[in-house]
């Protein structure tokens, strides 16, 4: 994928130690960071179980992977529904043990459902998906990367519309650290904290003057591309990161330290 106004280059990261054909599950793979991660995983030789709540978008991701010579299959699933998650895992493991998991799916920051419900959807779903994965493939699980955020972890998050978002993203970082110590590296557990990243969810907000002011404070002087997040996710997921466990990595152009 060549870069354009909303996308950066998509890198082949197969040299990071992935075994061709191993299975990686990416939730929220229909768009944005999840789609970029699914495409990068496939380009790096992994077979991708692409999960998303929207059938049309996840099937489009899979079609793009297959058109480029990769292997992928689409599963429509609401990760906040434990019964759907169980069915999705049962379908996924029929194709082989899933060694890698990327927890990317979650509600948008401006979702107006009640606070407790949204925390359950954003944070509870990560625990639900991960626990169900480990129940099925505990002997072969290698690595999980979950999507937190700069909001709540490095900044107050008051620029977000709904308070559940920074609260949940902080919780994901805490859950990641718990996994890292509880599981003893089987799997390794890490998280990334995106800053302002160009995705279908965020692009409509980029005209907001407050957002423009935030972009101006980023040392790199721009927003990030989903492919740049995907590269960080694939690195943490990979065997090349074999001694990295329990990390929350900001991928934000330096915004958190500005």
Residue whose structure tokens are 């790199």 = 220
Task: Kindly give, in sequence order, each residue whose CB lies less than 8 Å from that of residue 167, ignoring residues fewer than 6 positions away.
Answer: 115, 119, 152
Length of the chain: 258
**Do 179 and 130 touch, CB atoms closer than 8 A?**
yes
**Do 104 and 147 touch, CB atoms closer than 8 A?**
yes
Name the β-bridge partners of 74: 50
Quick check: is 225 catalytic? no
Give the Å distances, CA to CA, from 93 to 50, 187, 250: 13, 17, 31
Q: Which of 100, 165, 175, 225 is catalytic?
A: 165
Tell me the catalytic residues.
Answer: 165
């Amino acid at each position: 994928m060549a870069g354009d106004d909303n996308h950066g280059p998509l890198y082949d990261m197969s040299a990071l130690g992935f075994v061709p054909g191993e299975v990686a599950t990416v939730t929220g793979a229909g768009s944005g960071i999840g789609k970029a991660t699914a495409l990068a995983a496939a380009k790096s030789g992994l077979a991708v179980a692409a999960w998303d709540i929207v059938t049309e978008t996840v099937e489009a991701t899979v079609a793009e992977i297959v058109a480029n010579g990769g292997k992928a299959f689409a599963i429509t699933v609401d990760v906040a529904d434990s019964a759907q998650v169980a069915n999705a895992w049962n379908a996924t493991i029929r194709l082989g043990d899933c060694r890698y998991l990327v927890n990317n799916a979650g509600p948008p920051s401006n979702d107006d459902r009640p606070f407790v419900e949204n925390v359950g959807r954003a944070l509870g779903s990560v625990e639900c998906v991960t626990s169900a994965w480990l129940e099925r493939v505990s002997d072969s699980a290698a690595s999980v990367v979950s999507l937190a955020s700069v909001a709540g972890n490095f900044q107050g998050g008051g620029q977000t519309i709904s308070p559940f978002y920074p609260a949940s993203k902080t919780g994901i970082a805490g859950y990641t650290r718990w996994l890292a110590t509880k599981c003893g590296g089987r799997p390794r557990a890490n998280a990334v904290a995106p800053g302002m990243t160009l995705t279908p969810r965020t692009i409509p907000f980029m005209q907001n003057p407050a957002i423009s002011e935030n972009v101006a404070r980023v040392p790199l002087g721009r927003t990030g591309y989903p492919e740049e997040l995907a590269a960080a996710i694939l690195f943490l997921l990979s065997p090349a990161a074999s001694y990295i466990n329990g990390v929350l990595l900001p991928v934000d152009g330096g915004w958190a330290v500005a």
